[in-house]
Amino acid sequence: MSDALLTIRDLRIEGRSDETWMPIIKGVNLDLRRGEVLGLIGESGAGKSTLGLAAMGYTRDGVRISGGSVTFDGIDLVNASADDKRNLLGKRIAYVAQSAAASFNPAHKIIDQHTEGPVQHDVMRRDESELDAVELYRRLRLPTPDEIGFRYPHQVSGGQLQRAMTAMAMSCRPDLIIFDEPTTALDVTTQIEVLSAIRDIVEQFNTAAIYITHDLAVVAQMADRIKVLLRGEEVEEADTRTMLDTPKEDYTRSLWAVRAYERPAKPAILKKDTPVISVSGITASYGTTKVLEDVSFDIHEGRTVAVVGESGSGKSTAARCITGLLPPILGEIKFRGEVLPPNYRKRTRSQLREIQMIYQIADTALNPRKTVGDIIGRPIQFYGGLRGRAKRKRVEELLDQIEMPASEYFDRLPSELSGGQKQRIGIARALAAEPSFIICDEVTSALDQLVAEGILRLLARLQDELSLSYMFITHDLATVRAIADEVVVMKNGRVVEQGAKSEMFRPPHHPYTDLLLASVPEMDPDWLSKLLEERGREDIGDAGMEKMD
Partner 1 sequence: MGTVAKIIAQRLGLGILTLFIVSIVIFTAVNMLPGDFAESILGQGATPEAVAAIRRDLGLDQSPVSRYFDWLGGAVRGDFGSSFAQANFASFTGSDSGSGLTSVAQQIAPRFANTMFLASVAAIIAVPLSLTLGVLAALFRNSVFDRVVNIATLSSISSPEFFLAYVLILVFAVLNPWLPSLSNIYEGMSFPERLEKTLLPALTLTLVVTAHMMRMTRAAIINLLASPYIEMARLKGLSPMRVILRHALPNALAPIVNVVALNLAYLITGVVVVEVVFVYPGIGQLFVDSVKIRDIPVVQACCLIFAAAYILLNLTADILSILSNPRLRHPR
Binding-site ranges for partner 1 (CB under 8 A): 53, 56, 58, 60-61, 85-91, 94-95, 97, 99, 102-108, 116-117, 120-121, 151-152, 154-155, 168, 548
∠ CA 481-180-8, nearest 5°, is 120
User: Residue 257: CA atoms inside 13 Å, Cβ hemisphere, count?
Assistant: 10
Query: Which CB atom, from 5 or from 276, has the smaller least distance to partner 1?
Result: 5
* Min dist. Cβ of residue 364 to partner 1 (A): 18
CA distance 6 to 77: 10
- In order, the DSSP letters of 187-229 are -HHHHHHHHHHHHHHHHHTT-EEEEEES-HHHHHHH-SEEEEE
Distances (CA, A) of 328 to 300, 317, 482: 22, 10, 31
Amino acid at 390: A
User: Is the separation of the CB atoms in 429 and 353 below 8 Å?
Assistant: no
For residue 346, the 8-state DSSP code is G
Query: Which CB atom, from 97 or from 404, has the smaller least distance to partner 1?
Result: 97
- In order, the DSSP letters of 410-473 are TT--GGGS-HHHHHHHHHHHHHHT--SEEEEESTTTTS-HHHHHHHHHHHHHHHHHHT-EEEEE
Report the run of H or E that residue 163 belongs to, with start and end.
Answer: helix 158-170
Which are the contacts of 254, defined by CB distance < 8 A and separation ≥ 6? 450
Query: Which CB atom, from 90 or from 521, has the smaller least distance to partner 1?
Result: 90
Query: Which CB atom, from 122 or from 294, has the smaller least distance to partner 1?
Result: 122
Query: Which CB atom, from 84 or from 236, has the smaller least distance to partner 1?
Result: 84
* Min dist. Cβ of residue 325 to partner 1 (A): 25
Query: Which CB atom, from 168 or from 545, has the smaller least distance to partner 1?
Result: 168
Among residues 373, 361, 352, the alpha carbon closest in space to that of 434 is found at 352
Distances (CA, A) of 313 to 15, 429, 526: 40, 28, 30
* Min dist. Cβ of residue 120 to partner 1 (A): 6
Query: Judging by DSSP bridges, how do beta strands 304-308 and 355-358 pair with one another?
Result: unpaired
Query: Which CB atom, from 148 or from 255, has the smaller least distance to partner 1?
Result: 148
* Min dist. Cβ of residue 261 to partner 1 (A): 33
Query: Which CB atom, from 150 or from 251, has the smaller least distance to partner 1?
Result: 150
Query: Which CB atom, from 29 or from 155, has the smaller least distance to partner 1?
Result: 155
Query: Which CB atom, from 88 or from 291, has the smaller least distance to partner 1?
Result: 88
Query: Which CB atom, from 104 or from 137, has the smaller least distance to partner 1?
Result: 104
CA distance 169 to 56: 13
* Min dist. Cβ of residue 106 to partner 1 (A): 6
Query: Which CB atom, from 121 or from 241, has the smaller least distance to partner 1?
Result: 121
* Min dist. Cβ of residue 126 to partner 1 (A): 14
* Min dist. Cβ of residue 86 to partner 1 (A): 4
* Min dist. Cβ of residue 240 to partner 1 (A): 27
Query: Which CB atom, from 60 or from 506, has the smaller least distance to partner 1?
Result: 60
User: Is the separation of the CB atoms in 48 and 229 below 8 Å?
Assistant: yes
* Min dist. Cβ of residue 141 to partner 1 (A): 21
CA distance 393 to 371: 16
- In order, the DSSP letters of 367-395 are -TTS-HHHHHHHHHHHHH---HHHHHHHH
Among residues 239, 163, 172, 227, the alpha carbon closest in space to that of 201 is found at 163
* Residues shown for the chain: 549
Which are the contacts of 149, defined by CB distance < 8 A and separation ≥ 6? 109, 110, 111, 114, 130, 133, 134, 137, 164
Among residues 356, 328, 351, the alpha carbon closest in space to that of 468 is found at 356
* Min dist. Cβ of residue 548 to partner 1 (A): 6
User: Is the separation of the CB atoms in 77 and 22 below 8 Å?
Assistant: no
Among residues 430, 479, 442, the alpha carbon closest in space to that of 457 is found at 479
Amino acid at 217: A
Alpha helices in 58-157 (DSSP H): 82-88, 100-103, 110-120, 126-139
* Min dist. Cβ of residue 512 to partner 1 (A): 24
* Min dist. Cβ of residue 166 to partner 1 (A): 13
Amino acid at 148: I
* Min dist. Cβ of residue 52 to partner 1 (A): 11
